[in-house]
Amino acid sequence: MIVFHGTSAYNAASIIVDGFSMDAFYSGSLGKGIYFSRDIDKCVEYGRHILKVEIDEGSILKDDFDSISSFAQSHSEINFNFMSQFEKYTLSKGYKGLELSTFNEIVVYDLSCIVSISQYAVK
């Protein structure tokens, strides 16, 4: 699966040399992970330097928001953090990343599913 990642010039150079780091990323709408999109225009919102990334498609769970919402409600706790439920749901199904058609995003929770990274464009 070919996806794209928007970032700064400095980060793009670092990612090309060293790969992605989970320590460098914060939690987004689908929890803590590395975010990608098939839509380059969406990636430009996060940086003008676009990286082209190949991900093992078999490692990505393609699901909808309703399935995860049901899972999250059945696993609620006192200190419930809804965003962390996306990662728990995905990993509980044996996948390393999640693609929700609702958000037009792919989030990777386990970097081992990334096959290759290359510079793609500057917008």
First to last CA, the chain: 22
Q: Quote the CA–CA distance of 110 and 45 in Å, as a whole number.
A: 24
pLDDT digits (tens, 9 = 90+) for 70-105: 655 555 554 445 567 788 889 989 999 999 877 788
Which portions of the chain are predicted below pLDDT 70? 26, 64-83
Close Cβ partners of 16 (under 8 Å, ≥ 6 residues apart): 51, 117, 118, 119
Q: Any idea which residue has 């290359």 for tokens?
A: 118
Task: Quote the pLDDT of residue 79.
Answer: 44
pTM, full prediction: 0.84
* Domains of the chain, earliest start first: 2-122 (3.90.228.10)
Indicate the residue type of 92.
Answer: S
Task: Quote the pLDDT of residue 85.
Answer: 77
Q: Which helix or strand (DSSP H or E) is residue 9 part of? A: helix 9-18
Task: Quote the pLDDT of residue 2.
Answer: 97
